[in-house]
Structure 1
């Protein structure tokens, strides 16, 4: 068993497993609170009601903006806010995407979101999980992570999202940070979102529970994959791109795909 690592490390905080390496971990473990992902460490931000995010303090006492500046990064206000509905809310996944490509120095703050919830994309990803996609639900609320990315980080994350298009959050969606509205980017699914046999969008759950629900809802899925077991399903689709495509087409033939206005490639892309 791997050592948990020093205090503040992703290992010590139980945040080290990423879905790319282990698909059944999807969407990954989110942090307990807002903080700064700095390399393989996650530093919690103190709760300071009314304080601008950049002036909130980290465990060592320095402000977030001071920590960003000292590490050679852009200050908080100069970054691009991007709402995370799936694994981008996991520090391990963000670290996995950025490490070796651009410095891993990303504020991750919780926000209150109205009008949108994490649903399920109508495709299977290359690592072997069925990923998230945003779903518009009037009046629904969610507490989600916002990533604050610099220009280089945004370009890297964009490149890891070939099945999504980044656009502005629709007008019907409100994202607020400590009560202050925030205009965010959002990765919307290019394949639409999955619905059950009654036409209701699936909500994102743990991957094992989600796969069990999808297999139970559509028996043809298990027949196509040759298994009704979540772990075996993930292993088979991970190693078989043709199977992933056949599953995507199956969901379309069975009318299990919902496309929503405002979350399509025709929307206002960033």
Structure 2
């Protein structure tokens, strides 16, 4: 499969500071997002020009070709024939997407920023196998966020679905608006199966850098540190990564302490 040409400065993930993925290094969760919309192609990320009034598939890459032309030329479907999926957590990181797809499906994924209303990145009430506390969408009327939309082909979608055992893929609820340049887009969304974490006042935690989040969780619920045997964020990440029983005990602790809310508006609807 041919890849789009790479004019100008290096666009490799390492050169852009985008190479570290949370599966390999849980404390970098949710991973570094790109500075702008672009095309992940192999281990490179090519930026897309912002062109008001131009459909996303018609935006141009640094070499001047349109996104659709680049996708078709590389053997993939054009943008309109792909599945848009809103990334709330690490799926907004090119490094994480690259890791998930490599060896399983072509690494050729448009990643476009969208304006989102009515939903923000919260925190799932479980600990993932790699050792991080991951994101989960939280419905919040009137709230706004700027999030990545992944445009996946059929094979890529199947691969990403398989990497999300703690989530179910739904359509975004009607109260949530996702728009690209003011044009609404209907997206898929990975909703958490374990509910969303709240603080001692019942307010949903917002997603932050993992070390900051773990410190906040330890401070909010001292029983977490006692259970894990540490009050240090980095050490907690190490211990949960190597101990499945501890991950499950933490999930149950949050339930017992009434730190979990369910998102009633995020229910399966055939997506």
* TM-score range for the pair, normalised by the shorter chain length: over 0.9
Aligned-pair distance for 1:269? Answer: 3.6
2:188 corresponds to which of 185, 188, 195: 185
Aligned-pair distance for 1:46? Answer: 0.6
1:23 is matched with which residue? 26
CA shift digits 1:49-88 (9 cap, x unpaired): 1011111100111110111011100101100000000000
2:174 corresponds to which of 164, 171, 196: 171
Where 1:81 maps in the other structure, the secondary structure is strand
2:236 is matched with which residue? 233
1:245 is matched with which residue? 248
1:67 is matched with which residue? 70
Q: Is contact 1:165–1:269 with CA below 8 Å preserved after alignment? A: no
1:126 is matched with which residue? 129
2:148 is matched with which residue? 145
List runs of 5+ in structure 1 lacking aligned partners.
Answer: 1-5
Distance 2:92 2:154 in 1: 19
Aligned-pair distance for 1:183? Answer: 0.3
**Is 1:268 aligned with 2:269?**
yes
Aligned-pair distance for 1:47? Answer: 1.1
**Is 1:258 aligned with 2:232?**
no
Q: Is contact 1:195–1:258 with CA below 8 Å preserved after alignment? A: yes
1:39 is matched with which residue? 42
Runs of 4+ in 1 over 2 A off after TM superposition: none
In the superposition, the TM-score normalised over structure 1's length comes to: 0.97
In the superposition, the TM-score normalised over structure 2's length comes to: 0.96
1:221 is matched with which residue? 224
